[in-house]
């Protein structure tokens, strides 16, 4: 049996990604362990946020790479992340801010194998 994907997106998130891609071009996501906005998934134009050795590529959502800070990944490595969209203000640097919605991470624990 294959391992489930580490990151997925809801239909609402995929639709928002497409709208943002039409406005901003190729995109990327990063979720760090920082306080406040840093613990939310942040959407950037591809390459605008520099990733390094302390970031883990979890997979892609809507064709966009999704990274997580290594320290936070240690807490979340046994979960599957589901990226969703809710109404409200998100991170001030994340591209969805002017849309009146924000990306939100939901999760579920991987079953023991």
Domain that holds residue 94: 5-107
Give a yes or no: residue 14 inside a domain: yes
Residue 112 located in a structural domain = no
Q: Tell me how far apart the alpha carbons of residues 20 and 40 are, in angstroms, rounded to a whole number.
A: 17
What is the pTM for the complete model shown?
0.90
DSSP output for 43-66: EEETTTSPP-TTEEEEEEETTEEE
CA distance 28 to 35: 20
Residue with tokens 């942040």: 42
- The pLDDT tens digits of the residues spanning 57-91 come to 999 999 999 999 998 899 889 999 999 999 987 66
Decide if 75 is inside a domain. Answer: yes
pLDDT per residue over 7-46, tens digit each?
A: 999 999 999 999 999 999 999 999 976 655 457 899 999 9
Q: Is 90 exceeded by the pLDDT of residue 103?
A: yes
24 in Cβ contact with 109 (< 8 Å): no
Q: How far apart are CA 113 and CA 83, in angstroms?
A: 24
Q: What is the CATH number of the domain that holds 72?
A: 2.60.300
67 in Cβ contact with 56 (< 8 Å): yes
Does the residue 113 lie in any domain? no
The domain tally of the chain equals 1
94 part of a folded domain? yes
Please check whether residue 25 lies inside any domain of the structure: yes
């Amino acid at each position: 049996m294959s391992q489930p994907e580490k990151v997925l997106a809801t239909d609402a998130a995929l639709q928002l990604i497409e709208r943002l891609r039409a406005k901003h071009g190729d995109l990327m996501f990063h979720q760090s362990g920082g306080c406040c906005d840093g613990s939310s998934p942040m959407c950037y134009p591809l390459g605008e946020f520099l990733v390094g050795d302390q970031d883990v590529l979890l997979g892609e959502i809507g064709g966009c790479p999704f990274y997580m800070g290594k320290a936070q990944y240690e807490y979340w490595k046994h979960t599957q992340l589901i990226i969703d969209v809710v109404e409200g203000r998100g991170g001030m640097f994340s591209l969805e801010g002017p849309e009146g919605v924000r990306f939100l991470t939901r999760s579920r624990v991987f079953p023991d194998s």
